[in-house]
Amino acid sequence: MSIAVTYALLIIGALTIVLPLYMTAIIPFKTVAENTASYFALPSRFNLDNFRTVLAGGRFFRALANTAYITAFVLLGNAILMPMLSYPIARSMHQSPFYRFVYYFILISIFIPFQVKMMPLVKLLSSLRMMHPTGLSILYIASSIGESVFLYVGYMQSLPEELEAAAYIDGANTFQVYTRIVVPLVKPMMATALIRNGLWIWNDFLLPLIILNRSWTYWTLTLFQYNFRTEYSIDYSLTFAALVMSMIPIMLFYVFAQKHIVSGLTSGALKG
Amino acid sequence: MHHVLPISAQYSVLYTGMWVTSTIEVEMDSMAAGAKQRQFSFLGKKSKDRSKNITFALFVTPGLILYSIFLVLPVVMGVYYSVTDWNGISRRFNIVGIKNYRSIFRDSRFSNAVLFNLKYTVLLTVCVVVLGIALALLLNKRVKGITGFRAMYFFPAVLSALSVTLIFGQIFYRVLPQIGSKLNIGFLQKSLLSSKTTAPYGVLLVNVWQGVALPTILFLAGLQTIPDELYEAAEIDGANAWARFRHITLPFLVPIISIVLVLTAKSGLMVFEYVHSLTDGGPGGATESISLLIYRHAFVENKFAYSIAEAMVAGLIIAAISAIQISISNRMKVY
């Protein structure tokens, strides 16, 4: 392939990604009338009215705070609990039938589709009075157990046991061996697991929809977008202002951490 | 156990300390136990082992409790509700046995949804794998500015499916018809999503637009592990571009293809956001997926118990397909 053809193809591909985003970004600056004339023309003036309406009432910032809270809660819980759960399994499953059972029992959950648990989870969470962001966070942590254990156990088994043995000889107990030797070594896999979970939770819609949609004070960014669209379905300039606002945090994150996101996601998948 | 033997000789002197406490145990354990148990200890091996077992038990307890409450219990509850006639709201309900399951097999709406999901999943996986490999080959070219293009191509993966459907809903319903009427192109003047025959492809297009991004990056990472020398040697031997792709590139990508197949198939079989937000199952049920049908039965149409029975049947289908796929891809990995 000549360089010219390569560039032509690259640019065509880039346009299919950029054009929808460009259109999304300029729609909120224009009135509906202006948009109906042309979706791709630049706005005649820099009109921020739609963004003011979106930000009025504090719902947007509440949703942003809720999403950040849930994501942070889950990632912290995952970073602490998942390696802890995986380490005994990784080190004992070849000797202990109990841990072997635990491993396969947990792996089954990867194959159970979400729909099977969806309705009972709503009943369960409402009877446990957990229909709020913290309750949803705990549910997210639990839901990620299958995949996390799969990733961590595989990774831990590839780590040499000699370092741990040496620490035991120096008189360390199991907890110290875990925190000082094992945790630093699993950091690459932790990065992979946290990025995967972080993107999933930040962008998830179905679970917030069935657990948190009762009060706007519980809304996440996806619920905010969804409800905003339902409420102002006719004025799509306004809906798109809400959409653009909701996309800004993850876009900023992507611009600054793009390299780490990509390397984190690929390294985990290639090992797993 | 294989890694134990060479070092155990070095440390064998340490076992003498433990011999004092229990000779037989050491004899057995020096053969069987892992390197981690080799330690010098006045407490004796048994109590060390016990403290380790206790630590391990404490480590797994929180995870296992969460797992039991939020994964095992819902499945058990689901099995129970699926044999009742509960509408999800009333206080009282009856056990009706397998009645719900029997009605599922007479329900054309359910079989339509399963068919939709199967067709959709096949098309989605084919599109994602073929397009993903093609884009990865393109992004693997060493030309100026390629890292910028890579960053751009991956961007859809970090957006929420909901944002993407809002953008494309607008494009389908307003932007494309506008372009169509301006340029006088007949088929563009009506939304792709408003006709029964084209709506599934409209949803598929949006799903591929976003869903191909992560596989592309995975394929690209796979391509970068292929040594250049292989291509150079093949070129000297006179292999053409297709032969080089078929005999060098493809074998290297097989493990990644198998991962992508499993991930994409699962997302296709469980597709919810794209149909919920773009078409809400319409027009005329043409894009009603299993997930959407279950959601509507449970939350909109108050057929709670029935929806759970549907979920159980769908779950079995999806689990069976995943299991078959994984066993096939494990076999693929061998060569």
* Interchain proximity B66–A246, CB inside 8 Å: no
Indicate whether A29 and A112 sit together in one domain: no
**A91 or B11: which carries more pLDDT confidence?**
A91
HSE toward the beta carbon, residue A263, CA cutoff 13 A = 6
- Residues pairing with B84 in the sheet: B95
Residue B38 lies in a domain: yes
CA distance B224 to B220: 6
CATH classification at residue A98: 1.10.3720.10
Indicate whether B21 and B112 sit together in one domain: no
CA-based nearest distance A271→chain B, Å:
10
Q: Phi first, then psi: what are they for B183, rounded to 5°?
A: -90, 0
Query: Quick count: other Cβ atoms within 10 Å of Cβ B254?
Result: 14
Provide the pLDDT for residue B263. 84
Q: Which helix (H) or strand (E) holds B21?
A: none
User: Mean of the pLDDT values across residues B39-53?
Assistant: 64
Q: Phi first, then psi: what are they for B231, rounded to 5°?
A: -65, -40
Indicate whether B104 and B49 sit together in one domain: no
CA distance A15 to B114: 35
- The DSSP annotation for B115-151 comes to HHHHHHHHHHHHHHHHHHHHHHHHHTS--TTHHHHHH
Quick one: tokens of B267? 């997302």
User: Mean of the pLDDT values across residues B86-98?
Assistant: 80
Q: Which residue of chain B is at minimal alpha-carbon distance from A85? A: B60
A162-201: burial string, b at 16+ Cβ within 10 Å, e else = eebbbbbeeebebeebbeebbbebbeebbbbbbbbbbbbb
Indicate whether A121 and A15 sit together in one domain: no
Using a CB-CB cut-off of 8 Å, the residues of chain B touching A204 are 160
Indicate whether B224 and B110 sit together in one domain: yes
Indicate whether A254 and A129 sit together in one domain: yes
* Interchain proximity B69–A91, CB inside 8 Å: no
Q: Which helix (H) or strand (E) holds A146?
A: helix A145-157
User: Mean of the pLDDT values across residues B115-119?
Assistant: 93
Outline where B212-303 has alpha helix (H).
213-223, 228-236, 241-244, 250-269, 273-278, 290-299
User: Measured between CB atoms, does A64 come within 8 Å of chain B?
Assistant: no
User: Measured between CB atoms, does A102 come within 8 Å of chain B?
Assistant: yes
- Tell me the average pLDDT of chain B: 80
User: Measured between CB atoms, does B214 come within 8 Å of chain A?
Assistant: yes
Indicate whether A99 and A214 sit together in one domain: yes
Contact call for residues A124 and B73 (beta carbons, < 8 A): yes
CA-based nearest distance B43→chain A, Å:
11
User: Mean of the pLDDT values across residues B159-172?
Assistant: 90
Contact call for residues A16 and B168 (beta carbons, < 8 A): no
Q: Which helix (H) or strand (E) holds A148?
A: helix A145-157
Least confident stretch, A127-141, A207-221, B74-88, B175-189: B175-189
CA dihedral B52, B56, B59, B61 (to 10 degrees): -130
Indicate whether B133 and B267 sit together in one domain: yes
Provide the pLDDT for residue B41. 42
Indicate whether A25 and A70 sit together in one domain: no
Residue B69 lies in a domain: no
The rounded radius of gyration (Å) of the Cα atoms in chain A is 23
Indicate whether A99 and A161 sit together in one domain: yes
User: Mean of the pLDDT values across residues A188-214?
Assistant: 90
CA distance B189 to B173: 9
* Interchain proximity B74–A23, CB inside 8 Å: no
pLDDT band at B12 (very low <50, low <70, confident <90, very high): very low
Indicate whether B33 and B168 sit together in one domain: no
**A249 or A33: which carries more pLDDT confidence?**
A249
Provide the pLDDT for residue A69. 97
Outline where A28-113 has alpha helix (H).
32-37, 49-55, 59-92, 97-111
pLDDT band at A268 (very low <50, low <70, confident <90, very high): low
User: Measured between CB atoms, does A91 come within 8 Å of chain B?
Assistant: yes
User: Measured between CB atoms, does B13 come within 8 Å of chain A?
Assistant: no
Q: Which residue of chain B is at minimal alpha-carbon distance from A199? A: B158
Indicate whether A19 and A131 sit together in one domain: no
User: Measured between CB atoms, does B308 come within 8 Å of chain A?
Assistant: yes
Indicate whether A222 and A267 sit together in one domain: yes
Quick one: tokens of A67? 């999403």
Q: Phi first, then psi: what are they for B20, rounded to 5°?
A: -55, -45
**A30 or B129: which carries more pLDDT confidence?**
B129
Q: How many residues can be counted in chain B?
A: 335
Indicate whether A64 and A172 sit together in one domain: yes
Q: Which residue of chain B is at minimal alpha-carbon distance from A197? A: B158
- Convert B253-275 into a string of H (helix), E (strand) and C (coil): HHHHHHHHHHHHHHHHHCCCHHH
Q: Phi first, then psi: what are they for B287, rounded to 5°?
A: -125, 30
Does the pLDDT at position B279 exceed 50? yes
Indicate whether A267 and A234 sit together in one domain: yes
Indicate whether B36 and B120 sit together in one domain: no
Tell me the three state secondary structure of residue B95: strand
Amino acid code (one letter) for B156: P
Query: How many interface pairs between A and B have CB atoms less than 8 angstroms apart?
Result: 266
Using a CB-CB cut-off of 8 Å, the residues of chain B touching A106 are 67
Of A14, A87, A168, the CB nearest to B149: A14
Tell me the three state secondary structure of residue A138: helix
- The DSSP annotation for B25-88 comes to HHHHHHHHS-GGG----SS-HHHHHHHHHHHHHHHHHHHHHHHIIIIIHHHHHHHHHTTB---S
Domain of B37 in residue numbering reads as 5-60
Q: How many domains does chain A have?
A: 2
Residue B249 lies in a domain: yes
Q: Could you give the C-alpha distances from B99 to A17, B103, B292, B302, in angstroms and in order?
A: 49, 6, 22, 17
Q: Which of A10, A196, A199 to mutate to test the interface with B (most CBs of B within 10 A)?
A: A10
Of A206, A246, A254, the CB nearest to B158: A254
Of B62, B150, B322, the CB nearest to A81: B62
Domain of A106 in residue numbering reads as 59-271
Q: Which residue of chain A is at minimal alpha-carbon distance from B297? A: A119
* Interchain proximity B221–A266, CB inside 8 Å: yes
Residue A50 lies in a domain: no
Quick one: tokens of B292? 């959407």
CA distance A121 to A127: 10
Quick one: tokens of A122? 């709503």
Does the pLDDT at position B37 exceed 90? no
User: Measured between CB atoms, does B52 come within 8 Å of chain A?
Assistant: yes
Does the pLDDT at position B5 exceed 70? no
CATH classification at residue B253: 1.10.3720.10
pLDDT band at B332 (very low <50, low <70, confident <90, very high): low
pLDDT band at B85 (very low <50, low <70, confident <90, very high): confident
Using a CB-CB cut-off of 8 Å, the residues of chain A touching B139 are 10
Contact call for residues B279 and B204 (beta carbons, < 8 A): no
Quick one: tokens of B22? 């229990």
Q: Which residue of chain A is at minimal alpha-carbon distance from B293? A: A115
Indicate whether A96 and A191 sit together in one domain: yes
Tell me the three state secondary structure of residue A212: coil
* Interchain proximity A115–B256, CB inside 8 Å: no
Of A6, A116, A205, the CB nearest to B311: A116
Contact call for residues B162 and A225 (beta carbons, < 8 A): yes
Using a CB-CB cut-off of 8 Å, the residues of chain A touching B297 are none
Residue B261 lies in a domain: yes
Residue B81 lies in a domain: no
Question: How many angstroms separate the most distant Cα atoms in chain B?
Answer: 95
Indicate whether B47 and B104 sit together in one domain: no
Provide the pLDDT for residue A272. 39
Indicate whether B226 and B129 sit together in one domain: yes
Tell me the three state secondary structure of residue B184: coil
Condensed to tens digits (0 to 9), the pLDDT of residues A50-108 reads 888 888 888 899 999 999 999 999 999 999 999 999 999 999 988 899 999 999 999 88
A residues 10..29 contacting B (CB < 8 A) = 10, 13-14, 16-18, 20-21, 23-24, 27
User: Mean of the pLDDT values across residues A105-120?
Assistant: 84
Residue B49 lies in a domain: yes
Indicate whether B221 and B157 sit together in one domain: yes
Quick one: tokens of A195? 């990025």
- In 3D space, the residue among A96, A84, A208 whose CA is nearest the CA of residue A148 turns out to be A84
Using a CB-CB cut-off of 8 Å, the residues of chain B touching A7 are 143
Outline where A112-235 has alpha helix (H).
114-127, 133-143, 145-157, 162-169, 174-177, 183-185, 187-203, 206-211, 221-231
Indicate whether B318 and B210 sit together in one domain: yes
pLDDT band at B256 (very low <50, low <70, confident <90, very high): confident
Indicate whether B46 and B146 sit together in one domain: no
Does the pLDDT at position B20 exceed 80? no
**B243 or B284: which carries more pLDDT confidence?**
B243
Does the pLDDT at position A130 exceed 60? yes
Provide the pLDDT for residue B8. 28
Provide the pLDDT for residue B17. 29
Does the pLDDT at position A251 exceed 50? yes
Q: How many domains does chain B have?
A: 2
**B118 or B99: which carries more pLDDT confidence?**
B118
Quick one: tokens of B227? 């040594």
- Tell me the average pLDDT of chain A: 88
Indicate whether B13 and B132 sit together in one domain: no
Residue B103 lies in a domain: yes
Of A16, A35, A115, the CB nearest to B314: A115
CA-based nearest distance A236→chain B, Å:
9
Residue A49 lies in a domain: no
Indicate whether A225 and A112 sit together in one domain: yes
User: Measured between CB atoms, does B307 come within 8 Å of chain A?
Assistant: yes
Residue B283 lies in a domain: yes
Does the pLDDT at position A140 exceed 70? yes
Q: Which of B166, B212, B280, B292 to mutate to test the interface with A (most CBs of A within 10 A)?
A: B166
CA distance B32 to B29: 5
Highest mean pLDDT among A102-106, A214-218, B282-286: A102-106
B residues 117..136 contacting A (CB < 8 A) = 135
